[in-house]
């Protein structure tokens, strides 16, 4: 009679009085612990890389959307200004374009033949004023000018009782304008110069506004005249303004030098960004900063 003894991992057989015979059982292929740990590490690495790619893609998409929103607001403002300037009122080369320096930004006003929401039966012109408020909001104030009103310049500034004010864009950090003179110079609209007049149609201007002398002006033929107006808008998405440490971004925009210069506001602003002028502000906020500039030829 034969007795069988079974061991784990092998088949052992012995006979009474005979030698012990051990037969190794066949083993199935399997991974070692080291191989499993290596596979898990590789899988985790791949998952981390995919997560980083997805995160960067989402961040880039959000920044692009915020930049598009900011650009669209600036474009809306410049389009409105284009329509107003296209119907500007001018007499004898003296344009009804008025400007003043308001807290480092340009307040721009003009008299246009456009019709507004406040149209009246005897409306002759429309007084329009573009103002950048301290809350980073660019507004367009309009007031009708009747035929009976002989001094339409008194309606500029957006302070009359019949003025209606609309918001053009929010998140605006800068609103600046320069003029192109017929002598080749580029000057800030708010700078002193012989191409500006403190009176219009024989009457003094209010609220420190000054009128532009156009290239066709007959008075003082030897003085430089204005050929074109360049307006620039610096804007960010309104979400950016709610970030911490963004309140001073508008003040970081350099002003156009008063002296003769070929630089435009957009060129100066972009140079400030490239040279680290905004390094103290959050990088996501700086990434959403957009500059838009347009030049308008004046009659």
pLDDT digit string (tens) for 253-264? 888 776 666 678
pLDDT at 157: 73
pLDDT at 293: 92
pLDDT at 18: 57
Structure tokens at 117: 């929401």
pLDDT at 7: 46
Phi/psi-derived region of residue 281, left when phi > 0, alpha when psi is between -120 and 50, beta in every other case: beta
* Spatial separation of the C-alpha atoms in residues 10 and 16, rounded to whole Å: 20
pLDDT at 216: 60
Residue 172 β-bridge partners: 235
pLDDT at 294: 92
pLDDT at 218: 58
Residues of the chain with pLDDT under 70: 1-29, 62-70, 91-95, 103-104, 115-123, 147-148, 150-153, 158, 190, 207, 215-222, 244, 258-262
- List b or e across 132-165, with b for residues whose CB sees 16 or more CB atoms inside 10 angstroms: beeebebbbbbbbbeeebeebbbbbbbeeeebee
3-state secondary structure of 110: strand
Q: What is the pTM of this model?
A: 0.72
The two counts, helices (H) then strands (E), for the chain are 4, 17
Taking a C-beta distance cutoff of 8 angstroms, is the pair 196, 211 a contact?
A: yes
3-state secondary structure of 214: strand
């Amino acid at each position: 009679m034969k007795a069988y003894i079974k061991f784990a991992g092998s088949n052992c057989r012995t006979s009474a009085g005979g030698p012990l015979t051990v037969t190794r059982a066949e083993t199935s292929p399997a991974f070692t612990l080291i191989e499993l740990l290596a596979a898990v590490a590789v899988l985790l690495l791949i998952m981390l890389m995919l997560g980083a790619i997805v995160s960067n893609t989402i961040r880039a998409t959000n920044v692009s959307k915020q930049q598009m929103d900011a650009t669209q607001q600036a474009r809306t403002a410049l389009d409105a200004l284009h329509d107003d300037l296209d119907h500007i009122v001018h007499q004898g080369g003296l344009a009804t374009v008025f400007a003043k320096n308001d807290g480092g930004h340009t307040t721009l006003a003009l008299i246009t033949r456009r019709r507004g929401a406040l149209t009246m039966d005897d409306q002759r012109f429309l007084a329009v004023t573009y103002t950048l408020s301290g809350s980073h909001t660019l507004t367009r104030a309009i007031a009708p000018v009747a035929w009976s009103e002989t001094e339409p310049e008194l309606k500029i500034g957006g302070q009359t009782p019949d003025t209606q004010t609309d918001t053009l864009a929010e998140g605006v950090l800068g609103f600046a304008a320069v003029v192109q003179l017929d002598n080749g110079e580029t000057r800030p609209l708010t700078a002193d110069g012989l191409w500006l007049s403190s009176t219009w149609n024989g009457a003094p201007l209010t609220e420190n506004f000054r009128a532009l002398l156009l290239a066709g002006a007959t008075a003082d033929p030897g003085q430089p005249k204005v050929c074109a107006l360049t307006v620039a808008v610096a804007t960010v998405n309104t979400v950016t303004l709610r970030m911490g440490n963004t309140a001073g971004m508008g003040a970081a925009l350099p002003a156009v030098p008063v002296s003769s210069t070929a630089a435009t506001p957009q060129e100066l602003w972009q140079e400030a960004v490239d040279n680290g002028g905004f390094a103290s502000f959050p990088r996501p906020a700086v990434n959403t900063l957009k500059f838009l500039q347009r030049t308008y030829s004046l009659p």
